[in-house]
Amino acid sequence: MGIAFQVPTTADFRAGMDAGLTAAAGWFFTAPSGTPAKTISASQANIVRLLNLVRNNAEIREVEAALKQDVAISYRLLRYINSAGFGLSCEIQSFRHAVTMLGYDKLNRWLSLLLGTASKDPMAPALMHTALVRARLMELLATGLVDKPEYDNLFITGAFSLLDALLGLGMEQILEAMRLPEPISDALLGNGGRYQPFLDLALASEAGDGRAIAEQAAMLGLTAAQFNAAQLQALAFADAMEF
pLDDT digits 0-9 by tens, 15-64: 655 556 565 555 555 666 555 555 777 888 899 999 999 999 999 999 99
Band of pLDDT at residue 4, cut at 50, 70 and 90 = low
Residues sharing a CB contact under 8 Å with residue 134, sequence separation 6 or more, in sequence order: 158, 159, 161, 162, 199, 202, 203, 206, 234
Average pLDDT for residues 119-140, to the nearest whole number? Answer: 88
Note the pLDDT of residue 5: 61
Average pLDDT for residues 102-113, to the nearest whole number? Answer: 89
pTM of the model: 0.77
Burial 3-36 (b: 16+ CB within 10 A, else e): ebeebeebeebeebeeeeeeebebebbbebeeee
> SS3 for 86-110, per residue?
HCCCCCCCCHHHHHHHHCHHHHHHH
Note the pLDDT of residue 88: 62
Q: How many residues does the chain have?
A: 243
What are the structural domain ranges in the chain? 1-25, 40-118, 123-243
Note the pLDDT of residue 89: 62
Note the pLDDT of residue 20: 61
> Which of the residue ranges 97-106, 133-142, 155-164 would you say has the lowest mean pLDDT?
97-106
Note the pLDDT of residue 113: 86
**CA dist., res. 235 & res. 133, Å (int):** 6
- Closest to 172 measured CA to CA, from 160, 159, 155, 158: 160
Band of pLDDT at residue 142, cut at 50, 70 and 90 = very high
**CA dist., res. 107 & res. 100, Å (int):** 10
- Closest to 112 measured CA to CA, from 146, 152, 78: 152
